Amino acid sequence: MTSLPLNFATGLIVSFLGTLPLGVLNITIMDVSLKKGMSSALRFALACALVELVYSYLSVQLTKSIIEFPALRPITEVVATITLLGMGIYYIRKQNSLTASKQKTVSSFYLGTLLSILNVVAFPFWILYTTLLQGKGIIGLSQHSLIVIYVIGISVGTIAGLLPFAYASRFLTRIVAAHQHHMDRTIGCLFLFLSLFQFISLFT
Protein backbone atom coordinates (compact mmCIF):
# COMPACT_ATOMS: atom_id res chain seq x y z
CA MET A 1 0.00 0.00 0.00
CA THR A 2 1.59 3.24 -1.14
CA SER A 3 1.34 6.38 0.97
CA LEU A 4 2.40 10.02 0.93
CA PRO A 5 5.38 9.47 3.31
CA LEU A 6 6.58 6.48 1.26
CA ASN A 7 6.31 8.43 -2.00
CA PHE A 8 8.23 11.33 -0.46
CA ALA A 9 10.94 9.13 1.07
CA THR A 10 11.37 7.11 -2.13
CA GLY A 11 11.69 10.21 -4.28
CA LEU A 12 14.17 11.73 -1.84
CA ILE A 13 16.35 8.61 -1.59
CA VAL A 14 16.47 7.91 -5.33
CA SER A 15 17.21 11.57 -6.10
CA PHE A 16 19.90 11.72 -3.39
CA LEU A 17 21.63 8.60 -4.73
CA GLY A 18 21.25 9.83 -8.31
CA THR A 19 23.03 13.07 -7.40
CA LEU A 20 26.08 11.37 -5.88
CA PRO A 21 27.78 10.19 -9.10
CA LEU A 22 30.27 12.86 -10.13
CA GLY A 23 28.95 15.08 -12.86
CA VAL A 24 28.62 18.71 -13.89
CA LEU A 25 26.31 19.76 -11.04
CA ASN A 26 28.15 18.39 -8.01
CA ILE A 27 31.56 19.33 -9.38
CA THR A 28 30.32 22.86 -10.13
CA ILE A 29 28.83 23.31 -6.66
CA MET A 30 32.23 22.43 -5.17
CA ASP A 31 33.80 25.13 -7.31
CA VAL A 32 31.07 27.64 -6.40
CA SER A 33 31.51 26.90 -2.69
CA LEU A 34 35.29 27.36 -2.89
CA LYS A 35 35.18 30.58 -4.91
CA LYS A 36 31.98 32.30 -3.71
CA GLY A 37 31.10 30.77 -0.35
CA MET A 38 28.29 28.65 1.04
CA SER A 39 25.49 31.17 0.46
CA SER A 40 26.16 31.07 -3.28
CA ALA A 41 26.39 27.28 -3.18
CA LEU A 42 22.99 27.13 -1.45
CA ARG A 43 21.45 29.32 -4.17
CA PHE A 44 23.00 27.05 -6.79
CA ALA A 45 21.52 23.94 -5.10
CA LEU A 46 18.10 25.59 -4.81
CA ALA A 47 18.08 26.42 -8.51
CA CYS A 48 19.01 22.82 -9.38
CA ALA A 49 16.22 21.53 -7.13
CA LEU A 50 13.59 23.77 -8.72
CA VAL A 51 14.49 22.64 -12.23
CA GLU A 52 14.53 19.02 -11.05
CA LEU A 53 11.04 19.56 -9.63
CA VAL A 54 9.74 20.56 -13.06
CA TYR A 55 11.65 17.86 -14.94
CA SER A 56 10.54 15.09 -12.58
CA TYR A 57 6.90 16.22 -12.67
CA LEU A 58 6.87 16.14 -16.47
CA SER A 59 8.60 12.76 -16.41
CA VAL A 60 5.97 11.35 -14.05
CA GLN A 61 3.19 12.52 -16.36
CA LEU A 62 4.92 10.75 -19.26
CA THR A 63 5.32 7.67 -17.09
CA LYS A 64 1.60 7.63 -16.33
CA SER A 65 0.90 7.62 -20.04
CA ILE A 66 3.19 4.61 -20.46
CA ILE A 67 1.56 2.78 -17.54
CA GLU A 68 -1.91 3.26 -19.05
CA PHE A 69 -0.86 0.92 -21.87
CA PRO A 70 0.06 -2.41 -20.18
CA ALA A 71 1.31 -3.81 -23.49
CA LEU A 72 4.23 -1.38 -23.23
CA ARG A 73 5.33 -2.73 -19.83
CA PRO A 74 7.67 -5.46 -21.22
CA ILE A 75 9.22 -2.90 -23.55
CA THR A 76 9.91 -0.47 -20.70
CA GLU A 77 11.45 -3.31 -18.67
CA VAL A 78 13.80 -4.15 -21.53
CA VAL A 79 14.66 -0.47 -22.05
CA ALA A 80 15.35 -0.17 -18.31
CA THR A 81 17.74 -3.13 -18.46
CA ILE A 82 19.59 -1.71 -21.47
CA THR A 83 19.73 1.77 -19.91
CA LEU A 84 21.19 0.48 -16.65
CA LEU A 85 23.71 -1.59 -18.61
CA GLY A 86 24.67 1.45 -20.68
CA MET A 87 25.09 3.62 -17.57
CA GLY A 88 27.28 0.94 -16.00
CA ILE A 89 29.54 0.75 -19.06
CA TYR A 90 29.64 4.57 -19.26
CA TYR A 91 30.85 5.01 -15.68
CA ILE A 92 33.39 2.20 -15.92
CA ARG A 93 34.90 3.73 -19.08
CA LYS A 94 34.45 7.36 -17.99
CA GLN A 95 37.53 9.57 -17.94
CA ASN A 96 38.26 12.05 -15.16
CA SER A 97 36.11 15.15 -15.53
CA LEU A 98 37.28 17.29 -12.62
CA THR A 99 38.48 20.43 -14.32
CA ALA A 100 38.66 23.96 -13.14
CA SER A 101 35.62 25.77 -14.43
CA LYS A 102 35.94 29.30 -15.67
CA GLN A 103 33.17 31.25 -13.95
CA LYS A 104 32.47 34.86 -14.65
CA THR A 105 30.32 37.08 -12.41
CA VAL A 106 27.23 35.08 -13.26
CA SER A 107 24.66 34.55 -10.51
CA SER A 108 24.97 31.20 -8.77
CA PHE A 109 21.20 30.75 -8.98
CA TYR A 110 21.26 31.46 -12.71
CA LEU A 111 24.23 29.12 -13.18
CA GLY A 112 22.43 26.32 -11.35
CA THR A 113 19.27 26.89 -13.37
CA LEU A 114 21.13 26.87 -16.69
CA LEU A 115 23.19 23.77 -15.98
CA SER A 116 20.13 21.89 -14.68
CA ILE A 117 18.06 22.80 -17.73
CA LEU A 118 20.86 21.50 -19.94
CA ASN A 119 20.86 18.26 -17.93
CA VAL A 120 18.13 16.70 -20.09
CA VAL A 121 19.24 13.20 -19.03
CA ALA A 122 16.94 13.80 -16.06
CA PHE A 123 13.95 12.97 -18.29
CA PRO A 124 14.91 9.37 -19.16
CA PHE A 125 16.32 8.90 -15.65
CA TRP A 126 13.04 9.71 -13.93
CA ILE A 127 10.89 7.96 -16.52
CA LEU A 128 13.01 4.84 -16.01
CA TYR A 129 13.00 4.83 -12.23
CA THR A 130 9.42 5.98 -11.82
CA THR A 131 8.26 3.18 -14.12
CA LEU A 132 10.29 0.62 -12.17
CA LEU A 133 9.20 1.88 -8.75
CA GLN A 134 5.56 2.05 -9.71
CA GLY A 135 5.72 -1.39 -11.31
CA LYS A 136 7.12 -2.84 -8.07
CA GLY A 137 4.37 -1.14 -6.05
CA ILE A 138 6.81 1.02 -4.10
CA ILE A 139 5.25 4.33 -5.16
CA GLY A 140 1.75 5.25 -6.24
CA LEU A 141 0.70 7.66 -8.98
CA SER A 142 -3.07 7.20 -8.78
CA GLN A 143 -3.69 10.52 -7.02
CA HIS A 144 -2.32 13.97 -7.78
CA SER A 145 -1.26 14.41 -4.14
CA LEU A 146 0.91 11.27 -4.43
CA ILE A 147 2.61 12.69 -7.52
CA VAL A 148 3.18 16.10 -5.95
CA ILE A 149 4.73 14.67 -2.78
CA TYR A 150 6.88 12.33 -4.86
CA VAL A 151 8.38 15.13 -6.96
CA ILE A 152 8.84 17.30 -3.85
CA GLY A 153 10.84 14.44 -2.37
CA ILE A 154 12.91 14.34 -5.55
CA SER A 155 13.58 18.07 -5.28
CA VAL A 156 14.60 17.80 -1.62
CA GLY A 157 16.81 14.83 -2.48
CA THR A 158 18.63 16.93 -5.08
CA ILE A 159 19.51 19.52 -2.44
CA ALA A 160 20.49 16.79 0.03
CA GLY A 161 22.77 15.23 -2.58
CA LEU A 162 24.48 18.47 -3.57
CA LEU A 163 25.06 20.09 -0.17
CA PRO A 164 27.62 17.54 1.11
CA PHE A 165 29.79 18.40 -1.90
CA ALA A 166 29.45 22.11 -1.12
CA TYR A 167 30.19 21.79 2.62
CA ALA A 168 33.16 19.48 2.11
CA SER A 169 34.42 21.08 -1.10
CA ARG A 170 37.94 21.81 0.15
CA PHE A 171 38.42 18.23 1.27
CA LEU A 172 36.47 16.56 -1.53
CA THR A 173 38.25 18.39 -4.34
CA ARG A 174 41.52 16.68 -3.45
CA ILE A 175 39.87 13.30 -2.95
CA VAL A 176 37.93 13.52 -6.21
CA ALA A 177 41.02 14.51 -8.16
CA ALA A 178 42.90 11.50 -6.82
CA HIS A 179 40.18 8.85 -6.80
CA GLN A 180 37.48 9.87 -9.27
CA HIS A 181 38.21 6.99 -11.64
CA HIS A 182 37.87 4.43 -8.82
CA MET A 183 34.58 5.98 -7.71
CA ASP A 184 33.28 5.95 -11.28
CA ARG A 185 34.17 2.28 -11.61
CA THR A 186 32.37 1.48 -8.36
CA ILE A 187 29.26 3.31 -9.55
CA GLY A 188 29.53 1.55 -12.91
CA CYS A 189 29.66 -1.85 -11.21
CA LEU A 190 26.58 -0.91 -9.19
CA PHE A 191 24.68 -0.06 -12.38
CA LEU A 192 25.80 -3.34 -13.95
CA PHE A 193 24.48 -5.21 -10.90
CA LEU A 194 21.15 -3.38 -11.16
CA SER A 195 21.03 -4.21 -14.87
CA LEU A 196 21.59 -7.91 -14.08
CA PHE A 197 18.91 -7.80 -11.38
CA GLN A 198 16.48 -6.14 -13.79
CA PHE A 199 17.31 -8.71 -16.49
CA ILE A 200 16.58 -11.56 -14.08
CA SER A 201 13.29 -9.93 -13.07
CA LEU A 202 12.14 -10.07 -16.70
CA PHE A 203 11.87 -13.86 -16.38
CA THR A 204 10.46 -14.08 -12.87
User: Which span out of 78-92, 100-114, 150-164 was modeled with the highest average pLDDT?
Assistant: 150-164
Q: Where are the domains of the chain?
A: 4-201
Whole-model pTM? Answer: 0.72
**Helix 108-118 with 38-67: angle, nearest 10 deg:** 30
pLDDT at 1 over 60: no
CB 109 within 8 A of CB 117: no
